[in-house]
Amino acid sequence: MKTRALCDLLGLTSDGLAEAARSSLPSGAGVANQLYQQVFATGLLEPASLGLTETSVRAWHEHFHVGLLEVRQVVDEEGELGMTSKAVLATSDGLTLECVRIPMPPHPDGRPRATLCLSSQIGCRMGCTFCETGHGGLTRNLTAGEIVSQVLTTRLKLGWECGNLVFMGMGEPLDNFDALAQALRVLGDRRGFAYAAERITICTSGPPGAVTKLRSLGMARLGLSISLNGGSDGSRGALMPVNRAHNLAALTAELAAYSQRKNFVLGANYCLIPGLNDTREEARLVGEFCRAVGRVLVNLIPYNPGTVPLGRAPTEEEVVQFSLWLKEEGCALRRRVTKGASIMAACGQLGGATPL
């Protein structure tokens, strides 16, 4: 007998669920919105709790399920702002992905704040040389439901409440565009998580045309940051093969056309690696890039050598020196405190070995 594949409710918006229920269930579709709210609050699909007939309850379970992930491991690292935690989660086909809870400065009233760093793929085909995820290539794309499930699974099973989301985990989010776009719709659904777009940031290496495609979604308040990591095609191309297909001039033009609102500020992540991208000339070229794009905030990230190090971590003096050069170039700058380095949860380290 052929079994029907169950539809993962976490990959649907509430309107999508109502429509799917109407078209596939013989009865009981009228409670779709209530069930949607129930699932996003509890992780449970319990149509019986809404007083449906046995036939309708069975039909719901025969068509839909909630794709929570299995928590395989959680590793913590204490830092100034609190605990940075990496969760290793398993999909239903036994593959593992990782997401990270990053503590942020607390709300003015003292309530804790955190950002959840999400994965969009298992592995990645972009091959950035400084990145643990890139070393193994792409295994597969995550579905929209699996992307959303990272938020629900960590909230329900680990108690992680994260007000901000950033796609900076495993994978190039814009290389899995359709699933990402659907996940963004689901994450913003007012009957579910209701994340405002400004609470979500997409971090991309900038594959050709991808930023323009993201703009076509019309989510004007969505945050965007680019992995820059070099001011010249030579240095960036050596670290990021994507630069050969889409050089800095082309990327700059695409980013300059991206803004959909007056106060948009592009994030530019710059992982500082001694001997590879830390010269005065690189800083000058980064300044040129920022001026050409518009409003840019450079996130300067000291390199964390992983299991296949490209070199050493920069010294404090080297980081300060490069920061000063960027300031001389007029760049707005934020030095990112490296969080989670000891648990392989820092930038470019997901998918690597997890020390126990």
Catalytic residue among 124, 162, 290, 347: 347
331 is catalytic: no
Question: Is 87 one of the binding residues for ligand SF4 (CB under 6 A)?
Answer: no
Chain residues 179-218 in contact with ligand SF4, contact rule CB under 6 A: 205
The CA angle 179-200-306, to the nearest 5 degrees, is 80
List the one residue from 39, 89, 100, 124 that touches ligand SF4 (CB under 6 A). Answer: 124
Whose CB is nearest to ligand SF4?
134
- Could you tell me which of 354, 349, 304 has the C-alpha nearest to residue 133? 349
CB of 110 to ligand SF4, least distance (A): 34
List the one residue from 14, 348, 349, 354 that touches ligand SF4 (CB under 6 A). Answer: 348
| CB nearer to ligand SF4: pick between 128 and 331 | 128
Residues 223, 200 contacting (CB under 8 angstroms): yes
CB of 64 to ligand SF4, least distance (A): 31
Question: Is 172 one of the binding residues for ligand SF4 (CB under 6 A)?
Answer: yes
Question: Is 171 one of the binding residues for ligand SF4 (CB under 6 A)?
Answer: yes
CB of 59 to ligand SF4, least distance (A): 40
Burial class, 308, CB count within 10 angstroms (exposed 0-12 / middle 13-18 / buried 19+): exposed
- Could you tell me which of 244, 275, 202, 239 has the C-alpha nearest to residue 127? 239
Cα–Cα distance measured from residue 65 to residue 51, given in angstroms and rounded to the nearest whole number: 19
- Could you tell me which of 181, 207, 234 has the C-alpha nearest to residue 127? 207
CB of 139 to ligand SF4, least distance (A): 12
- Which residues contact residue 130 at a Cβ distance below 8 angstroms, ignoring those fewer than 6 apart? 229, 239, 271, 273, 303, 306, 310, 348
| CB nearer to ligand SF4: pick between 9 and 117 | 117
Question: Is 166 one of the binding residues for ligand SF4 (CB under 6 A)?
Answer: no
Q: Which two tokens stand for residue 126?
A: 């972009």
Question: Is 225 one of the binding residues for ligand SF4 (CB under 6 A)?
Answer: no
CB of 86 to ligand SF4, least distance (A): 15
The CA angle 149-152-156, to the nearest 5 degrees, is 135
| CB nearer to ligand SF4: pick between 167 and 195 | 167
| CB nearer to ligand SF4: pick between 192 and 207 | 207
- Rounded to the nearest 10°, the torsion over CA 299, 302, 306, 308 is 100
Query: What separation in angstroms does the CA of 186 have from each of 40, 66, 145?
Result: 10, 14, 9
| CB nearer to ligand SF4: pick between 65 and 246 | 246
Sole window of 79-87, 127-135, 159-167, 321-329 interacting with ligand SF4 (rule: CB under 6 A): 127-135
| CB nearer to ligand SF4: pick between 17 and 168 | 168
CB of 169 to ligand SF4, least distance (A): 8
Site residue total, ligand SF4 (CB under 6 A): 13
Alpha helices in the chain (DSSP H): 14-24, 32-42, 54-63, 132-135, 144-158, 177-188, 210-215, 233-239, 242-245, 248-256, 280-293, 316-328
List the one residue from 10, 12, 128, 248 that touches ligand SF4 (CB under 6 A). Answer: 128
Q: Which two tokens stand for residue 205?
A: 């290496």
Question: Under the rule (CB under 6 A), what is the footprint of ligand SF4?
Answer: 124, 126-128, 131, 133-134, 170-172, 205, 227, 348
Residues with a catalytic annotation lie at 347
